[in-house]
Amino acid sequence: MPQSHEFDVLIIGSGAAGLTVALTLPAHLSIGVISKTDISSGATLWAQGGIAAVLDDQDSVDNHIEDTLNAGAGLCHEDAVRFTVEHSRESIDWLIRSGVDFTRETDSEHYHLTREGGHSHRRIIHAADATGHAVSTTLTQQAQARENVHLMSNRVAVDLITNRKLSLPGNRCVGAYILNLDTGHVELFRARFTVVATGGASKAYRYTTNPDGASGDGIAMAWRAGCRVANMEFNQFHPTCLYHPHAKSFLITEAVRGEGGLLKLPDGSRFMDRFDDRGELAPRDIVARAIDHEMKRLGIDHVYLDISHQPADFIRQHFPTIYEKCLGYGIDITREPIPVVPAAHYTCGGIMTDERARTDISQLYAVGEAAFTGLHGANRMASNSLLECLVYGRAAAEDITRLATTIPAPPAAPDWDESQVRDSDEDVVISHNWDELRHFMWDYVGIVRTTKRLQRAKHRVDLLSREIAEFYSNYRVSNDLLELRNLVTVADLIICSALQRKESRGLHYTLDYPGLQPDARDTILVPTSYQTPSS
């Protein structure tokens, strides 16, 4: 028999956002943290660059806000930006108290701060070039030591459970159905509060820097449950992913350019100065489009990122992970340039939330990359993402703590019914649809778009949606089927959002509408199951 579980707080996702919520909540609340594979397998683990925060006397909150607003191309919500930046220092202090060992200046007690694209000051605190690893392992160790935090791996969320699904009055989330990959059964998780911290949706694209689990699960589940989503057309493509036949989506951090790395063509010439006065330190969308333009113009598969002009000891000290990884593929970055190509990296849109990370559904929160807070606008500025995880994770925990004594236990809910389904003998359908989806998203909904390409993608995604819905109705669920179901949902959201934006702004660049509209507006999609707050 499938198990059932009950917690005060159910957190779906175990990256920086989810673990920040878990570790900020009081010890008297029972907390369940769900992870697809290992607890530390999310995108946080792979984040190289660092965390943006106002830590230097020469910097200021207003400077950080201005840089973020400029990178966001007029779509950032200034109140969300200010809220995030004003809470940056305390969030870093919390990480330091938790045990994260950030890199210090040589022979100094001061922390080393680097600079990345879009930032006017050095404000990126980091742990060498593996900040995400340091944050993830530290927070995981802290969570493992908490008696009230239950870390549960090898589980994949299927759907959220709401009052509406239970035919009860009100608009409340009361838990989720979760597939246990070890047993193959779907388990019932009931909770007074549920937090979606599942990361982004970059796996909808053929090339991505993200881990395998970045399939937009939380965004798709929240959409099906009745939450609005916003700005899904803004997919950030990281300009520099290692290009090598045996390297699987290895990201070359923006800090390499921040420390003097130069982008070059095969003949050794630079090209970024032809696209932006800031050169290699231009925001990511500009750099990615410039690389894409040069690759298409010259018919080449990649360009080069060269930092070999810096002292070898400097390179090995600041970028030990990248140095060792590239050396393993026969590339000595102290002597030669790194072959790089853009890849889908970050989902700037997501589930609409407020300053406390609350969604449209009561007792349902969204934090991290799955959420739309208004911070990133049309283009996320480098190293603001981990900061967002910390600030909004702590805000969600504070709101849950405030409400904990007033929210009753979740109502009874039925076990998952799989009596009408059977095991699939056609898994080739899943793999074929998976490949088709990621290919047409890359070709038609990528760095540079046109209305015709988007319409083609919409036609394809509608066909796939019908096929996958039929498959989901007839066969027992699996991890691959659930991810495919969620990916086709978020792909549709991305395409619909892109079709609605009749301009080129930030990460959304279309040849049919190369200019800006006079008014900067969010693209908000409303599901048929949406209920207004008063209902």
Query: Does 43 fall in a domain?
Result: yes
Model pLDDT for residues 405-432, shown as the tens digit of each residue: 999 999 999 999 887 777 766 678 888 8
- Kindly state whether residue 410 falls inside one of the protein's structural domains: no
Confidence of residue 535 (pLDDT cuts 50, 70, 90): very low
Q: Closest Cα to residue 285, out of 433, 117, 401, 158?
A: 117
Locate all alpha helices (DSSP H) within 262-376, ordered by sequence. Answer: 284-298, 312-318, 320-328
pLDDT digits (tens, 9 = 90+) for 486-523: 999 999 999 999 999 999 999 999 999 999 999 999 99
Residue 412 domain flag = no
Q: Is residue 389 part of a domain?
A: yes
CATH number at residue 314: 3.90.700.10
Please indicate, yes or no, whether residues 149 and 71 belong to a single structural domain of this protein.
yes
Same domain, 294 and 357: no
Cβ atoms 217, 196 nearer than 8 A: no
This prediction's pTM: 0.90
Same domain, yes or no: 291 and 165: no
210 and 356 assigned to the same domain? yes
- Domain residues for the domain of 449 are 427-510
Query: 46 in a domain, yes or no?
Result: yes
Strands (E) in 92-171, as ranges, are 113-114, 124-125, 149-152, 155-162
Joined together, the tokens standing for residue 528 give: 């048929």
Polymer length of the chain: 535
Give domain status of residue 527, yes or no: no
Same domain, 153 and 70: yes
Number of domains in the chain: 3
Mean pLDDT to the nearest integer, 98-120: 86
Structure tokens at 524: 């908000």
Point out the domain boundary residue: 318, 343, 368. 343
Q: Are residues 128 and 203 in the same domain?
A: yes
Same domain, 435 and 306: no
d(CA 356, CA 332): 46
Residue 473 lies in a domain: yes
Distance CA 362, CA 423 (A): 35
Domain annotation covers residue 211: yes
Among residues 274, 295, 276, the alpha carbon closest in space to that of 286 is found at 276
Query: 172 forms bridges with which residues in the sheet?
Result: 362
CA 165 to each of CA 364, 407, 535: distance values in angstroms, whole numbers, following the listed order: 15, 19, 15
Same domain, yes or no: 172 and 222: yes
Coil, helix or strand at residue 471: helix
Q: Are 285 and 75 in contact (CB under 8 A)?
A: no
Average pLDDT over residues 441-462: 95
Q: Is 485 a catalytic residue?
A: no
Signed CA dihedral, 389, 394, 395, 399: sign only: positive
Q: Are residues 371 and 271 in the same domain?
A: no
Q: What is the mean pLDDT of the chain?
A: 92
Instruction: Give the CATH number, domain containing residue 126.
Output: 3.50.50.60
- pLDDT tens, residue by residue, 337-386: 999 999 998 999 999 999 999 999 999 999 999 999 999 999 998 899 99
Catalytic residue among 155, 284, 380, 485: 284
Co-location of 100 and 226 in the same domain: yes
Picking from 343, 370, 395, the residue at the C-terminal end of a domain is: 343
- Given this model, what pLDDT does residue 254 score? 83
The pLDDT assigned to 208 comes to 87
* Whether residue 52 sits in one domain with residue 11: yes
